[in-house]
Structure 1
Amino acid sequence: MPGATTPTRVVVIEDEPTITSAIADRLTAEGWEVSTALDGPSGVATVQRVQPDVVVLDVMLPGIDGLEVCRRIQADSPVAVLMLTARDDETDMLIGLGVGADDYMTKPFSMRELVARLKVLLRRVRRTEQAAAAPGPADPQVALEIGDLVIDRAGRRVMRAGVPAHLTPTEFDLLLCLATSPGTVLTREHLLADVWDWVDATGTRTVDSHVKALRRKLGSDLVRTVHGVGYALEIPAEPEDGLGEEAPGAGGATGPGV
């Protein structure tokens, strides 16, 4: 991550030159080092070459779309991604979050908000790295086990019923926030402040979308909605003894249930 003398590196992948230039100019004015790409393949190559701290990624791109770009760059080396979409479509947003985006903004957007969102993403990444480097009283080396859910805080890995789940950095932070107080209802505002570092309630849809992504990856029974308030992590039941064992004489292997 950038230090006191190292500029923040940003890659902007956007096929509209006027938008690309406007974003690049604004981020350069912030003192950040900006690289740009106008299509999917060159975007992937630029990220691999630059190794940025954060990526601004449009969904609709020539060559390969932004969703596939996100999959490829996250598979190579995980990086914070803010996705831009031309439609206020929750399905598109959920797909974007599912392939590794940390946040999204709908066009048209203000440059001021874009910069603010990117700074929040960077603060969260730094905070996570610092916590891993300097364990506090709640030692992150100790895995958190709640029923059949296991959260490896040091390795940032999650398993449910022995099955690994691939979570984005934001999804992991959200799950960990809920899991530190299982059964306790946390308001959307609390989650925004703790996970996203937002001090207002303008991003409540972001919380809702990430919760839906968690449910899709870990099971719909894991996070309970308290309408008008927020969310709580349900305590998963421990598997019963003998669950999943083969019946006498049964042939073939069986996998874990979903």
Structure 2
Amino acid sequence: MNKSVLVLDDEKEIADLVEWYLLNEGFTVYKFYTSGEALDCIRTTKLDLAILDVMLPDTDGFSICLKIREQYHYPVIMLTAKVEDMDKITGLTIGADDYVTKPFNPMELMARVKAQLRRYTRYNLPESVPDKLQEAGEYDFRGLTINKETHKCSLYGKPLQLTPIEFSILWYLCENKGRVVSSEELFEAVWGETYLDNNNTVMAHIGRLREKMKEPPRKPKFIKTVWGVGYQIEMDR
């Protein structure tokens, strides 16, 4: 696929296994067992995706993810040995795009890698055949501007640094402006997977979006919560 993937896991067997599957799929792999070496690679190498273990001896994957998000928007997948929802929510809130719980099926991980890269590429390149809803390719209202072709978003003239997932959520809500979108619909539209009960993924990403937009949690101006139903960007009044 001519894409470069960073793999960081202090468990050598897991890192080697992930590397083998990635190489078999045609990826260029930068594999590391320590965060220091991985950070050097992140600073100096053009990467298309990162796979980070949460539990590391010298730091944690969340800290590495935060470092990546200071400069880059490529997808980040977290590997976690824990199953607590808070670990998942923490990773998603700080900018991770997906998580896989250990032990995992390597083929599932490869499918998630490919899905994240497809999504990232789709929202960073012009659409070859714009559909009816994307003829303009841009929404501009109340100081919020979002352009699908350039993958740029700004609020009151200041750029918003959004991850591909965050951009996809905001674009979908703008595309359906005036209509309440359920968490289930939003998840299945953006992630392309079946929504499961008690899935806090959408809520975590909405919270992160509001934080970046400096939205007051009680009375947000843009992304409103319709309790028990979903989320909505209201039509202009």
TM-score, reference length from structure 1: 0.74
Q: Partners of 2:146 and 2:35 in 1: how far apart?
A: 34
Q: Could you tell me how far apart the structure 2 residues matched to 1:34 and 1:98 are?
A: 26
> Conserved in 2, the CA contact under 8 Å of 1:15 and 1:39?
yes
Residue 177 of structure 1 deviates from its aligned partner by 0.6
- 1:166 maps to 2:166: no
Write the deviation string for residues 21-57 of structure 1: whole angstroms up to 9, x where unpaired: 2222222333333221111111122334442221101
Match of 2:100 among 98, 101, 105: 105
| CA RMSD after TM alignment | 2.9
Are the aligned partners of 1:189 and 1:201 in contact in 2 as well (CA < 8 Å)?
Answer: yes
How far off is 1:223 after superposition? 2.9
- Uncovered stretches (5+) of structure 1, i.e. residues with no partner: 238-258
Per the TM alignment, residue 122 of structure 1 is displaced from its structure 2 partner at its CA by 1.0
The structure-2 alpha-carbon separation of the partners of 1:21 and 1:151, relative to structure 1 and needing over 3 Å to count, comes to: same
The question of 1:232 aligning with 2:228 is answered: no
Pick the aligned partner of 1:119 from 105, 114, 117: 114
What residue is the counterpart of 2:80 in the other structure? 85
Q: Which range moves more in the overlay, 55-64 or 226-235?
A: 226-235
Which structure is larger by alpha-carbon Rg, 1 or 2? Answer: 1
**Amino acid aligned to 2:38:** G
Worse overlay, 221-230 or 109-118:
221-230
Aligned partner of 1:14 in structure 2 is 9
Q: Which amino acid aligns with 2:95?
A: G
**1:116, distance to aligned residue in structure 2 (A):** 1.7
Match of 2:130 in 1: 136
Once residues 181 and 77 of structure 2 are traced to their aligned partners in structure 1, the CA distance between those partners, rounded to angstroms, is: 25
Match of 2:23 in 1: 28
| 1:19 CA drift (Å) | 1.6
Deviation at 1:164, TM superposition (A): 4.6
* 1:70 has 2:65 as partner: yes
Identity of aligned residues (%): 33
Query: Is 1:57 equivalent to 2:46 in the alignment?
Result: no
Q: 2:99 aligns to what SS in structure 1?
A: strand
Structure 2 unaligned regions, length at least 5: none
